[in-house]
Structure 1
Amino acid sequence: MEEKIKASENDYSMIEDIPNKLPVLPLRDTVVFPYMIFPVLVGREQSIKAANFALENSKYIFLAAQKKASIEEPTPEDIYPEGTIAKIIQILKLPNGLLKILVDGVIQGRIVRFTDRKEFFEAELEVITPTEENPRELNALLRQMSNLFKEYVKINKAIPPEAINAFENIDEPDRKLFYVAANINQSIEVKQKILQHFSLKDQLYEVIRILNSEIEILKIEKEIENKVQENIAKTQRKFIIQEQIRILQEELGDEEEIAPEFVKLKEQIEKAKMPKPVYEKAIDELNKLKKTPPSSPEATVIRNYLDWLIAVPWHKKTRDNLDVKNVRKILDEDHYGLEKPKERIVEHIAVLNLVKSMRGQILCFVGPPGVGKTSLGKSIARALGRNFVRISLGGVRDEAEIRGHRRTYIGSMPGKIIQSMKKAKTINPVMLLDEIDKMSMDFRGDPSSAMLEVLDPEQNHSFNDHYLDVDYDLSQVMFITTANVRYNIPLPLQDRMEIIELPGYLEFEKLEIAKRHIIPKQLKAHGLDKFKIEIQDEAIKKIINEYTRESGVRNLEREIASVFRKTAHEIVISTNGKKKPKLKITITPETIEKYLGVPRFRPKKADKELRVGSVTGLAWTSVGGEILQVDATVMDGQEKLTLTGQIGNVMKESALAALSYLRSNAKELGLPANFHKGKEVHIHLPEGAIPKDGPSAGITMAMALYSVFSGKPARNDVAMTGEITLRGKVIPIGGLNEKLLAAQRNGMSIVLIPKDNEKDLTEIKPEVKEGLQIIPIETIKDAIPYVFGKITGTRKKKTTSKKSRK
């Protein structure tokens, strides 16, 4: 017979029957307290053996919680040592092999140590009996616990209200304690802490602490729930009231008196002075908005649409200042040079003086970057007294960016045109469509096709944006477009615009622009306008020729700003930060090199030495004109033509045409018969890293090939430009102004141009032609005497002429 456990101070009769060694049943998700009758489902083989052993012997078993419920096969370290000694009341074997046992918690216990039994867990136990407490303190704690438990049951919907009645019928303090502990919805870890205290007072304190914490959490949860319910109730109430208002409005037919926000919206629609079809559309949408619940997404879409209809200008316009003299004065103030664009703008204003309205005048400024295309548009707006808006079309690929998105799409909005009209706030602004040559197309459509409707004077009086879905009159807008390269503008768009070329500035024009506009602006920007700063003309020319290579003045402004920054730095250091307005500083060419470093560009000079097969051509680039050296050589080998120097397809075709012409006209040109037999020809254009292409190098290649086959050296002061045909005709080219400027800049004496370009010389400024002998030629034969003739002192005369001009 096993030794019985003896009670410590308070002897209970039941304790005498409890053996000091009992099987241990690990519980996964439950903590069983004394005085609890609780069903336990047993499935593990070890636990079934423990239950059967207890049933066959004393019927007592020790119930202890696992530290982690996920462990399938717990070890003694995975089981809490504190638990409850319980008696098995009933056991039921289920068909699936599991046991369902009904246990009755008897008293607290604690594992002293586990025995060596292998089949199941068995342990020596210590019984924890209640100790005598201070009656007053015990009563106070019990009272507080009772009040908290009643409040907890009232707040917690998971516990039935009957639990309070059962609680009040209990008299024993420990029984009350464990009843409350069993009914708290908390984790195993929290409940286990109650069993880890061995005095009734400590256990009561622990339960009170748990109840206080739980009540606080439940109150917060209830508050959140009440707020949610309140919001739902408000929304439902608002919806019901709105529906009642709508029905009453339909009955009364007096909507405006009940909905003041709609009255305000209608007033705005009336004030906008929309055309009749647009007004009717706006009223229809307003009526639809009144019948749509505000919580509906459709209400937001309609409201945004109405806001756009109201915001876009329908009647407001600025009064044009048509004083031709004032317009000319403003254009001259803002821009130096650009005579042709200015003249065209003044003509446009003059016509407006007579007819008051004029359609179809869409100007397109074409020219390299930095020549003032965008700023010219701003000057036109200022001269006319109109509002100015700019739209950048660079990289626009989606047709919807011009026409807008339909309202069926989420986040839809009008296109750039209507957005700009809203920004302009008038129906007759100057609208600059910048970089129209950089629009592209992809799967989302062709935006250039959408621009046709905008720029076509026969269509733009009824421009239809997909978002607004009503006709909008763009006929009073003055459209100005800009582009860098003409041939990148789609032909249908070119057909609707008047192209005005801005070829770029000459050296003397850049000098004047720097003195009149850039230097005063940059002096003020760098705080140097209070000092006596003088920048010599030669210093400005040095920046123009050796530090910038462009048609415009953007880089020139950047370099001048750099010079002034360094000047400001030197002034601050020399004066210790004290302002000395009387300080005089002169910026010379030497100062420029000191501030900006080694010159970035050196003028290309023609070879001084006469060489066979080396001829100078003229080329147009996006930053102005350049001389183009063409070198040709011939060697024994296979009969073939090799072209190097990143030459494009057009230049390759020019080279082939030149060779074919020489072969077919060898006798007339004085070349040996079969001069190409067994010869390999190589044409090279230096600066191979720079791509070169264009139709104006044909005559240059023909002269290089003639030189190499005839053995005659070409003159080094002759430059030429012109495309050729297989019959030897020299046909016209473009960019004559820039090419002549390049010839002048690089010390050429004679320039050969196509005969058909002779008429263009009338539009070339005298400063560009100064010092150059310009000779029009019709055929390749006409060029030979000039290219291979004797050199005279022409170049010296030109130099003298330039000095005298200075």
Structure 2
Amino acid sequence: MASVSRADVYASRYPLLILQSAVLFPGNAVTLAIGRAEAFRAVELARQQQAALVVVVFADGRSGDQLVHQVGTLARVAEAQPQAGQRLQVRLEGLRRVRLLAVDMAGAAPQARVEQLLPNVTPAAFAAVERVRALAGELQRQLGLPDGETLRVLETTDDPDRFADLLATQLVRDLPYRQRLLELVDPLERLEQLAGLIERELARWRPVVEPPTAAGPVPSRPSAEPAALLDEANEAREEAERLRRRLAECGAPPAVVERIEQEIDRLARMPQSAAEATVARTYIETVLSIPWAVETPETVELARARAILERDHFGLEQVKERLLDYLAVRALTGEQSGSGTVLCLVGPPGVGKTSLARSIAEALGRRFVTVSLGGIRDEAEIRGHRRTYLGSYPGRIVEALRRAGTRNPVILLDELDKLATDYRGDPAAALLEVLDPEQNRHFVDHYLDVPLDLSRVLFIATANSLAPLPRPLRDRLEAIVIEGYTEDEKREIGRRHLLPRQLALHGLPERALELTDTAWHELIRGYTREAGVRELERQLAALCRKVAREMVERGLNANEGLPRRRVTPAVMRRYLGPAPYQELGVFPEPQVGVAYGLGATLLGGTLVPVEVLAMPGRGHLEVTGQAGEVLQESARAALSWVRAHAGHFGLAPDFAERMDLHVHLPEGALPKDGPSAGLALVVALVSALTGRPVRSDLAVTGEITLRGRVLPVGGLRQKVLAAQRAGLRGLLAPARNQAEVASLPATVTRRFTVHWVETVEQALELLLLAPPEQSSSGLLSPSSEGGVKAGKRSRSTEASRDANSQR
């Protein structure tokens, strides 16, 4: 016997997978159905650690005494898919031979310490490869084994170790014999064993010529099947018939039926253990698992749909009305596909986009599945991988159909704006065919390679913003914007939905926790800062945990009736600690050089004070507070407008050359950008230069031009809510945004005034008050004492009185 070279003897531990009826050779793959608990845990441990696992066989084929063979295979988990009945389908790829040094069966999963067994390849082994290759070719011509594709691989393989393992996988079916070949580390010994095996079988099947008779020579036929080679004809025929019956019942189109018939015929001619047979079998099973003809009846009842939307969501009245309009059209047209309309729910996190889509599916009586698109970079995730690649699988759209079990589900494309692009393709471009009603009737997944009708699928997308999406993809979407909730809406959502759900999840009685109105107010303002209600639910869960702990410490349970815990702001601070969020407060009195701008973020609206200081200098303008490029451009435009109108405000014509201006945006750790602060910058600059205070009860938003026009801005609803949250009484906004006032809740407009302006002059008249006293600052021209006309000053004085009386 040739010597065996063993290297890399080390104390490495791997999860241990013990099999009963399969021996895996290195360099080959096998697909297994795993049902035993310890085997399931071993596979899960290998996947969690992203490590290989050791595959061995029970010594006697039974699992009772836990005796295993000492030589196995180190393998990689290429794919694992849960199956029905607590089973797991696993595809393993053999890496190299190993010998077990120690086995630990006491942990959560079986583990083993192993040493690697490396082959000792000699020149005699290379010569044996040529001999066995010729014998394999003759065997294929006589018996059809191995299959033609395997033979082609053998013809191009010169590595004796790889050659012997591949041929053993294809020819040897007897489990003990396969294990003996696995334990032969020297490839020359394996090749000699295989050569002898093939020669014996060829001798048994080779015709024997007998003396001629009157009827001519009659070749003798073998009296028995081969002993070492498994005759798989009956098994292959049974599998082919089973697959054909499923194909006839699945309702696939004729083109698909023809293609799968060819694949079944091809599979029937392959050895059952061939690697290509596993690939073909997985492909056929995947195609047959698609619901080609299963369809869920659709029912559209507007009254029921309205009741579902009202039950699951508070507020969002305009969004609900738009969805009911959509359902009404479906009821009239009998439309099953929604062609031409792909709804995209756009809004900040936590505003209910996913739950709205789920409510639509419930209202239609359809099944609902979610496809998460966040972070997808590979186009194949949408269109599937071609079967020529190792470990290929269908795309996420096909997988969603398989999960739904029907061809007309509601598929939610979640986080559409989180798609990425790199060298592997553009997944957003792959979605164009999926969402186009003119193309998705014949959608071709790369793995299936047959047309699939997606026209009956109702696609709904969600996104935080449409800006990252390519323009062709945006054109296929109809955006429904969800801008966030008011404080009143958050409070009602918390009372009706969030708090009862958290009480149930924490095992508490239905009325174990009660928050006062002031506690709700402090919880929403001080402990959350968001447009949605996700963080609000987390804080309510924290309160429930505290109450649950009190119950356990007092030895109570839900059935014994815990006294209702009334949560006040003081109790809340004791449970949750100090409030992490504090509103950037406004000055109680009008200030010189301070205007209150507004911004809109994914977390909702926010107050952005704009502070300006004027000091002697050389005409330098400095903007601080992490101002972006667009905001800095707005500051320069605002200064240019003020310089052009210097005489109107009583400023010296050359004031900009004799002073420096410092513009600061507080909360400098937060980046800020956008043109909507332009109007606030003008107001703060004029106030700082003229000494006229700015009203502290009004916020301001709007983009400006060099001609003094006020242009519309986005996110008006969020900005109004932010101004109200800060305790302001009103807002100055561009007149071109006036149509958006309909989106504001009535509870907000009753307590809040929006002043619509078209020019900078109108905004200055509303916001600037008369200076408390005239003083010579050196900035006014010698010929002007006050710098403004008397009429405008009187109006400013009246505005000051109005503001003071309101306070």
- The AA in structure 1 aligned to 2:489 is E
Q: 2:640, 2:710 → 1: CA distance?
A: 15
Aligned to 1:466: 446
Q: Is the 8 A contact 1:530 1:581 kept in 2?
A: no
Q: 1:236, 1:491 → 2: CA distance?
A: 69
Q: Does residue 290 in structure 1 map to residue 263 in structure 2?
A: no
Aligned to 2:625: 645
Aligned to 1:550: 530
Q: Is the 8 A contact 1:669 1:781 kept in 2?
A: no
Equivalence map 1:625-644=2 (5 Å): 625-644=605-624
Q: Is the 8 A contact 2:509 2:561 kept in 1?
A: no
Aligned to 2:308: 330
| Identity value in percent | 43
Q: 1:223, 1:771 → 2: CA distance?
A: 83
Partner secondary structure for residue 697 of structure 1:
helix
Aligned to 2:340: 360
Q: Does residue 438 in structure 1 map to residue 418 in structure 2?
A: yes
Of the structure 1 ranges 566-575 and 450-459, higher mean CA displacement relative to structure 2 is found in 566-575
Q: Is the 8 A contact 1:533 1:585 kept in 2?
A: yes
Partner secondary structure for residue 572 of structure 2:
helix
Equivalence map 1:450-489=2 (5 Å): 450-489=430-469
Equivalence map 1:494-505=2 (5 Å): 494-505=474-485
Equivalence map 1:533-544=2 (5 Å): 533-544=513-524
Which one has a bigger Cα radius of gyration?
A: 1
Task: Output the aligned Cα RMSD.
Answer: 2.9
Partner secondary structure for residue 488 of structure 1:
coil
User: Quick one: which of 527, 530, 540 aligns to 2:507?
Assistant: 527
When residues 263 and 256 of structure 1 are mapped into structure 2, their CA distance, relative to the original with a 3 A threshold, is farther
TM-score normalized with structure 1 length: 0.67
* Deviation for aligned residue 1:794: 5.9
Q: 1:485, 1:348 → 2: CA distance?
A: 22
When residues 261 and 636 of structure 1 are mapped into structure 2, their CA distance, relative to the original with a 3 A threshold, is same
Equivalence map 1:88-127=2 (5 Å): none
When residues 716 and 265 of structure 1 are mapped into structure 2, their CA distance, relative to the original with a 3 A threshold, is same
* Deviation for aligned residue 1:665: 2.6
Q: 2:756, 2:692 → 1: CA distance?
A: 22
* Deviation for aligned residue 1:336: 1.0
* Deviation for aligned residue 1:397: 0.7
Aligned to 2:602: 622
* Deviation for aligned residue 1:542: 1.7
* Deviation for aligned residue 1:597: 1.3
* Deviation for aligned residue 1:782: 1.0
Deviation string, structure 1 residues 550-595 (Cα, Å, up to 9, x no partner) = 1111111111111111112223323466953163332222211111
Aligned to 2:494: 514
Aligned to 2:767: 787
- The AA in structure 2 aligned to 1:490 is P
User: Quick one: which of 416, 419, 423 aligns to 2:403?
Assistant: 423
Equivalence map 1:174-323=2 (5 Å): 233=197, 259-323=237-301
When residues 283 and 607 of structure 1 are mapped into structure 2, their CA distance, relative to the original with a 3 A threshold, is same
Q: Does residue 402 in structure 1 map to residue 394 in structure 2?
A: no
* Deviation for aligned residue 1:420: 1.0
TM-score normalized with structure 2 length: 0.67
Partner secondary structure for residue 591 of structure 2:
coil
When residues 642 and 532 of structure 1 are mapped into structure 2, their CA distance, relative to the original with a 3 A threshold, is closer
Q: Does residue 768 in structure 1 map to residue 744 in structure 2?
A: no
Aligned to 1:201: none
Aligned to 2:353: 373
Q: Does residue 448 in structure 1 map to residue 428 in structure 2?
A: yes
Equivalence map 1:736-751=2 (5 Å): 736-751=716-731
Q: 2:801, 2:472 → 1: CA distance?
A: 51
Aligned to 1:560: 540
Q: Is the 8 A contact 1:747 1:795 kept in 2?
A: no
Partner secondary structure for residue 672 of structure 2:
coil
Aligned to 1:722: 702
Deviation string, structure 1 residues 326-350 (Cα, Å, up to 9, x no partner) = 1111111111112222222222222
- The AA in structure 2 aligned to 1:427 is R
Q: 2:181, 2:456 → 1: CA distance?
A: 64
When residues 221 and 756 of structure 1 are mapped into structure 2, their CA distance, relative to the original with a 3 A threshold, is closer
Q: Is the 8 A contact 1:404 1:416 kept in 2?
A: yes
When residues 735 and 286 of structure 1 are mapped into structure 2, their CA distance, relative to the original with a 3 A threshold, is same
Aligned to 1:30: none
When residues 797 and 468 of structure 1 are mapped into structure 2, their CA distance, relative to the original with a 3 A threshold, is farther
Partner secondary structure for residue 492 of structure 1:
helix
Q: Is the 8 A contact 1:650 1:694 kept in 2?
A: yes
- The AA in structure 2 aligned to 1:680 is D
- The AA in structure 2 aligned to 1:692 is K
Q: 1:721, 1:568 → 2: CA distance?
A: 46
Deviation string, structure 1 residues 669-714 (Cα, Å, up to 9, x no partner) = 4432122112222111011110011221010111111112222221
Q: Is the 8 A contact 2:703 2:713 kept in 1?
A: yes
Q: 1:522, 1:609 → 2: CA distance?
A: 43
- The AA in structure 1 aligned to 2:342 is I
Aligned to 2:318: 340
Aligned to 1:70: none
When residues 796 and 678 of structure 1 are mapped into structure 2, their CA distance, relative to the original with a 3 A threshold, is closer
Q: 1:426, 1:736 → 2: CA distance?
A: 42
Aligned to 1:655: 635
Q: 1:307, 1:473 → 2: CA distance?
A: 19
* Deviation for aligned residue 1:744: 1.3
Deviation string, structure 1 residues 61-107 (Cα, Å, up to 9, x no partner) = xxxxxxxxxxxxxxxxxxxxxxxxxxxxxxxxxxxxxxxxxxxxxxx
When residues 222 and 511 of structure 1 are mapped into structure 2, their CA distance, relative to the original with a 3 A threshold, is closer
Q: 1:476, 1:236 → 2: CA distance?
A: 59
- The AA in structure 2 aligned to 1:457 is P
User: Quick one: which of 367, 373, 397 aligns to 1:387?
Assistant: 367
* Deviation for aligned residue 1:264: 0.5
- The AA in structure 2 aligned to 1:353 is A
- The AA in structure 1 aligned to 2:652 is P
* Deviation for aligned residue 1:654: 0.7
Of the structure 1 ranges 741-750 and 392-401, higher mean CA displacement relative to structure 2 is found in 741-750
When residues 645 and 221 of structure 1 are mapped into structure 2, their CA distance, relative to the original with a 3 A threshold, is closer
When residues 787 and 298 of structure 1 are mapped into structure 2, their CA distance, relative to the original with a 3 A threshold, is same
Deviation string, structure 1 residues 417-437 (Cα, Å, up to 9, x no partner) = 111111111111110111101
When residues 750 and 330 of structure 1 are mapped into structure 2, their CA distance, relative to the original with a 3 A threshold, is closer
Q: Is the 8 A contact 1:618 1:743 kept in 2?
A: yes
Q: Is the 8 A contact 1:531 1:583 kept in 2?
A: no
Q: Is the 8 A contact 1:618 1:720 kept in 2?
A: yes
Partner secondary structure for residue 259 of structure 1:
helix
Deviation string, structure 1 residues 427-463 (Cα, Å, up to 9, x no partner) = 1111011110111101111111111111112211111
Deviation string, structure 1 residues 119-178 (Cα, Å, up to 9, x no partner) = xxxxxxxxxxxxxxxxxxxxxxxxxxxxxxxxxxxxxxxxxxxxxxxxxxxxxxxxxxxx
Q: 1:464, 1:223 → 2: CA distance?
A: 42
Partner secondary structure for residue 655 of structure 2:
coil
When residues 354 and 609 of structure 1 are mapped into structure 2, their CA distance, relative to the original with a 3 A threshold, is closer
Partner secondary structure for residue 570 of structure 2:
helix
Q: Is the 8 A contact 2:695 2:767 kept in 1?
A: yes
Partner secondary structure for residue 752 of structure 1:
strand
Q: 1:453, 1:752 → 2: CA distance?
A: 45
Unaligned runs of 5+ residues in structure 1 are 1-219, 249-254, 800-806
When residues 577 and 326 of structure 1 are mapped into structure 2, their CA distance, relative to the original with a 3 A threshold, is closer
Q: 2:253, 2:429 → 1: CA distance?
A: 27
Q: Is the 8 A contact 2:236 2:268 kept in 1?
A: no
